[in-house]
Amino acid sequence: MGSRSTLVAALGASLAVVVLAGCAGGGGGPNAGRYANDTDAYPSEKRDLSEVKDAVPRVEPRSKGGNGPTYEVSGQTYRVMDNASGYNEVGLASFYGTKFDGYATSNGERYDMYGMSAAHKTLPLPTYVRVTNLANGRHVIVRVNDRGPFHSDRILDLSYAAAYKLGYLNQGTARVRVEAIDPRQWNADDEASEPAEAVSSGASAGPQQAPTAGSGNTYLQVAAVGNASSAEQLRQTLADKLGVNGRVVPFNGIYRVQAGPWDSPADVEDARRQLEALGYSHPLVVTGTP
């Protein structure tokens, strides 16, 4: 089973990391050189990551590697969850730099820092999660395929691309909400929305087409924020950029930020494109009163 270091923001290109022992003899074997190297770095190649798409939840079997039932790192034993149902946690997230790019993850895949993946200490591998940056409301969907971060105050390590889309590369860490996604429910919801996405002309509707909607009754949900003040600040920011008031809908201790309303499917589609350009991928269509 592989393990990775926790990336911490620092000035300049280099980042300090906590060096972790792997299962192959305390970081030995073919990875010994990497574990001995106690620095990480941002990639020197500057890519445009704005078009990187979220991971798409799908039903998968549990990986043969990395699923316990228990494992040990640096003398501490971790117990892998039986399933991810209902998992919802708030804490600090860090991210991976170049040090482990291309090397094996805990479930035997290869880490791609430009993909949408993550590491978690105990979630089953793979698990799809929605990660929301509570400071700015941005969210992404990633696929957990590795173990870590093995640092007491962090709950998740995200890929470089995911951290970019959440807007915390410069800070190194961010306070986030992590919510497990049930792929079966996710796909069922997508299928249920397909008839609403058909255009009036009868043409085949693609995944980016807007639903038909009642006049002034359609919103796009962009975030679920854990703080009412932050939610209101995000609502106002979006209102200034999009020219509509939007709303904040409290639900079970979180605050759903919804941009809108709009009068027509064309307006909804235009707004969706604007939101995605601002970094809010896959806004959720909401019709009606809260």
The pLDDT, as a whole number, for residue 252 is 66
State the residue for tokens 């770095």: 41
Overall domain count for the chain: 2
The pLDDT, as a whole number, for residue 142 is 96
Contact assessment for residue 177 and residue 185, using Cβ atoms and an 8 Å cutoff: no
- Looking only at the bridges linking them, the beta strands covering 254-262 and 218-225 are antiparallel
Q: How far apart are CA 214 and CA 153, in angstroms?
A: 46
| Three-state DSSP class for residue 115 | coil
Check which CATH number belongs to the domain holding 85 and give it. Answer: 2.40.40.10
The pLDDT, as a whole number, for residue 190 is 55
Would residue 197 count as lying in a domain? no
Would residue 278 count as lying in a domain? yes
Contact assessment for residue 141 and residue 180, using Cβ atoms and an 8 Å cutoff: no
Would residue 195 count as lying in a domain? no
User: Is 20 in the same domain as 143?
Assistant: yes
Per-residue three-class SS string for 30-47:
HHHHHHHCCEEECCCCCC
- Per residue of the chain (290 residues), what is the pLDDT tens digit? 444 443 333 322 233 333 333 332 233 233 333 333 445 556 767 778 888 999 999 999 999 999 989 999 989 999 999 999 889 999 999 998 767 677 889 999 998 989 999 999 999 999 999 999 999 889 999 999 999 998 888 999 999 999 999 999 989 999 999 999 998 888 775 554 444 333 333 333 333 333 333 346 888 888 877 778 888 888 988 888 888 899 998 876 778 888 988 888 888 888 888 887 777 767 888 877 77
Would residue 123 count as lying in a domain? yes
User: Is 50 in the same domain as 149?
Assistant: yes
Residue range(s) defining the domain that contains residue 169: 6-183
The pLDDT, as a whole number, for residue 281 is 66
User: Is 20 in the same domain as 133?
Assistant: yes
Would residue 16 count as lying in a domain? yes
User: Is 178 in the same domain as 232?
Assistant: no
The pLDDT, as a whole number, for residue 20 is 34
Check which CATH number belongs to the domain holding 266 and give it. Answer: 3.30.70.1070
User: Is 13 in the same domain as 153?
Assistant: yes
The number of angstroms, rounded, from the C-alpha of 289 to the middle of its chain's C-alpha atoms is: 28
- Asked whether the CA dihedral 225, 227, 231, 234 is positive or negative, the reply is negative
User: Is 26 in the same domain as 119?
Assistant: yes
The pLDDT, as a whole number, for residue 126 is 97
Q: Structure tokens of 232?
A: 């209101």
- The structure's pTM equals 0.59
Would residue 201 count as lying in a domain? no
Q: Structure tokens of 285?
A: 């269509």
User: Is 133 in the same domain as 248?
Assistant: no
